[in-house]
C-alpha cells in the first residue's frame, strides 16, 4: 500500500560537532547526509550556502550585507533570478498531480 511518507522526505538538522557555522542536514529515515549548510562571513557581506555533500556544488545561496537583514534574496542553482525571502515570508514548495479527473496537491 502506498503511504504519503513514501513520497515525502523529512530532514533533521544537526550542528556539526567541530564547527558551529556548519549544519548537517540528514535524511530522517536513512540518516544519509543530504546537504550541508555553511554560514560564512566574507569581506563586505554574510553568506549562507546549501552544499551538495557528494559534489560540493552550491545548490542555493544567500548573500546579505548584515546578518539581520530583513530581505534575503536566495539564488537557486540553475535559475537566473533570485527568490526574495523576507522575515515574514513562508518558503515552501507545492507538488500536485491529477488522477481520475481529480487534482491533488500538497
Higher pLDDT, 97 or 11: 11
- Give the pTM: 0.64
Asked if 27 and 11 count as a contact pair (C-beta separation under 8 A), the reply is: yes
Residue 53: band (very low, low, confident or very high) from pLDDT cuts 50, 70, 90: very high
What is the bridge-based pairing of β-strands 102-105 and 46-51?
A: unpaired
The gap from C-alpha 14 to its chain's centroid, in whole angstroms, comes to 14
Polymer length of the chain = 106
Amino acid at each position: 500500500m502506498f503511504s504519503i511518507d513514501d513520497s515525502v522526505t523529512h530532514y533533521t538538522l544537526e550542528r556539526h560537532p567541530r564547527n558551529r557555522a556548519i549544519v548537517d542536514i540528514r535524511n530522517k529515515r536513512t540518516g544519509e547526509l543530504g546537504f550541508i549548510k555553511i554560514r560564512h562571513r566574507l569581506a563586505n557581506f554574510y553568506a549562507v550556502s546549501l552544499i551538495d555533500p557528494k559534489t560540493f556544488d552550491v545548490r542555493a545561496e544567500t548573500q546579505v550585507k548584515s546578518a539581520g537583514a530583513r530581505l534575503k534574496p536566495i539564488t537557486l542553482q540553475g535559475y537566473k533570478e533570485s527568490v526574495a525571502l523576507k522575515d515574514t515570508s513562508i518558503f515552501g514548495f507545492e507538488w500536485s498531480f491529477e488522477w481520475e479527473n481529480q487534482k491533488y496537491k500538497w
